[in-house]
Chain A
Amino acid sequence: MVKLKKLSEPTPETLGPLVMSEMTSERPTTSLAAPVVGTDRSSLSADEMRNLRQKVSAQGVDFFYGSNQALHNVSLDMPENLVTALIGPSGCGKSTFLRCLNRMNDMIDDTIVRGDILLDGVDIYKSRTDVVELRKRVGMVFQKSNPFPKSIYDNIAYGPRVAGVKQRGVLDEIVEKCLEQAALWDEVKDRLNDSALQLSGGQQQRLCIARALATFPDVLLMDEPASALDPKSTARIEDLIFELKNSYTIVIVTHNMQQAARVSDQTAFFYEGSLIEVGATTELFTRPTQQQTEEYITGRFG
């Protein structure tokens, strides 16, 4: 069987571009108007996306919590270096689907997955998959920021350390690069040894993103990463997603449709465990083909 790629040594390429982003947020972030699709990005059509390299591909995925089926035959392709947003009313299985992609559901007892999930063409549910290796390649950011009760430095260095990186110099470099990528370096560079729990909520969440970047993943899963944050912090996270998408394939769950419209290239609408519709974000929000999708995005239910 194909063994998943080993963690490569950090090189400038794998570390991705540096992001020294000062806030560039003149965009309205809290508007309650109909979703405005961001224009500062290439808008690809669904057909164009189909022809891209599919980084992650779910094929006929069913998921069960015990006898309760949470996903019904979900098939979804996530193209490389694009942002895929998962939307839908709460309880429709978005988080469940996201957790299938890095096998975090394995941690929950008594669950069953059926169907195939391919990462770079390799089925991650094959019995010989190294889950630890998989999770290094598919990073995850949680809804509630969950920094370790350790220093800022140790939070970032934890991933590389468990992967076997020991040299202080290399760790220092990774910490700096990842914090820069997460647009947090300038705020914390003078207090790397302070507890991460002293940071503000928004900073903590960016720290969690930086921490996820430190294992050099290809794919970044984000489960409502901004839902607990104030609008300004939310805007910063969205800016960050914009920057990161050049080097990562991002899958983001959000219940905020403006956010989906702003940050994503492709949007998938889930309802009661089924994937109802998927398409280029621009098209899905302007010309939904399914009635349920239309009702949801116009706010008639959910």
Chain B
Amino acid sequence: MSNSSPPVYRNSLAEHSNGRPLAKFASNAFAVACATCTIVCMATLVVLLWKIFQFGWGRVNLDFITSFPSSTAENAGIKSSLVGSLYLIGLTALFSVPLGVGTAIYLEEYCKPSRWRTFAQTNIANLAGVPSIVYGILGLGLFVRAMSLNRSLLAGALTLTLVILPIVILASQEALRAVPKTIRQASYALGATRWQTVWGQLLPASLPGILTGVILALSRALGEAAPLLAIGAATYTAFLPQDIVHDDFSVLPLQIYNWTDQPQEAFHQAAAAAIVVLLTVLICMNALAVFLRYRFSKRIQW
């Protein structure tokens, strides 16, 4: 606005910005740039999915899901790796949820601000960024060799627990922090102990956030191949694991890796089909996360 002439009041905001054409152009250009980024990402994803579905869809059927892998591509199925994946995720959840949520509660509700807490917090944040293959090597040394768990489901689940534990902790901390301070005050003022406040107020209130974080972390674990390769998990097995500490196991990502490594085109098609199944499981888990978030946050509105 100029200050020499008397102010001229315009009656439309659009006219107002005409005074600064460059700013308006920059603003629009930025919006276009952002939109382009989004479109590039979406397009890549859509093309990728399209190609995989086109290639693999014909191969997805009940037989495919209920047959063991085979040396003939036409008979090969994913029974053992799908079951292996589900077992592995179940076990990983069993270990990572109590450990992760417990750590988050300790750091948020019990630990006073101190050097120790800053140290722990910084480490957890850094650990979340460590490539998963590194955890695989740690798992190989610690679980497979030192604890003699071999290439079992237990060793795999413990390794994946290491991979996702930082994510579970950070998500749970975030969810706990989102509970208003006034709720804690109200609870303590009624004579509740710390434990009663955590169990009776904070956990129920932060459950949607914690669950969402846990499910997203588990989705990541479901897609991991590198750390499992590092601990030497089988790329295919022709049996279902009967025992979590002795039997070999395989998982979908490793089965897919195995198939894409074969020269025959038919195996590649089986790999595409397995990817479709893996994606379906992932989408189901994410849908569950969204559903839970919706269900619980409808009940809890600050």
Contact = CB atoms under 8 A, between A and B. Distances in A.
A208 interface: yes
A158 B197 CA distance: 10
Interface stretch (B41-49, B93-101, B133-141, B182-190): B182-190
Contacts of B200: 158, 161-162
Interface in B177-195: 180, 182-193
Given A149-B300, A197-B301, A140 B191 contact: no
A264 B191 CA distance: 26
A116 interface: no
B299 interface: yes
Contact of B188 (A107, A163, A208): A107
Given A109-B112, A149-B299, A149-B302, A142 B192 contact: no
Nearest to B189: A140
B260 interface: no
A132 B192 contact: yes
A176 to B, nearest CB: 18
Contacts of B186: 142, 146-148, 208, 211
A195 interface: yes
Interface in B11-25: none
Contact of A148 (B112, B113, B191, B201): B201
B72 to A, nearest CB: 58
A132 B194 CA distance: 10
B148 interface: no
Nearest to B199: A162
A211 B80 CA distance: 56
Contacts of B188: 104, 107, 135
Contacts of B190: 135-136, 139, 158-159, 162, 211-212, 214-215
A159 B196 CA distance: 10
B272 interface: no
B205 interface: yes
A222 B140 CA distance: 60
A182 B301 CA distance: 24
B201 to A, nearest CB: 6
Interface string A201-226: 00000001001101100000000000
A229 B200 CA distance: 28
A58 B284 CA distance: 61
A243 interface: no
Of A140, A144, A149, most B-chain CB atoms within 10 Å? A149
Nearest to B191: A136
B4 to A, nearest CB: 43
A104 to B, nearest CB: 6
Of A132, A139, A148, most B-chain CB atoms within 10 Å? A148
Contact of B191 (A107, A132, A147, A208): A132
B191 A104 contact: no
A234 interface: no
A133 interface: yes
A139 B189 CA distance: 7
Contact of B113 (A102, A109, A214): A109
Contacts of A147: 186
Interface in B158-214: 180, 182-193, 196, 200-201, 204-205
Of B182, B183, B186, B299, most A-chain CB atoms within 10 Å? B186
Given A142-B186, A144-B182, A146-B186, 5 more contacts: A104-B185, A136-B190, A162-B190, A162-B196, A214-B190
24 contacts: A102-B189, A107-B184, A107-B185, A132-B193, A134-B191, A135-B189, A135-B190, A142-B185, A144-B182, A146-B180, A146-B183, A146-B185, A146-B186, A148-B186, A148-B187, A149-B299, A149-B302, A150-B204, A158-B187, A161-B200, A162-B191, A162-B193, A162-B200, A212-B190
Give the 5 A-B CB pairs with smallest separation, nearest first: A136-B191, A146-B182, A159-B190, A140-B189, A149-B300
Interface of A: 102, 104, 107, 109, 132-136, 139-140, 142, 144, 146-150, 158-159, 161-163, 195, 197, 208, 211-212, 214-215
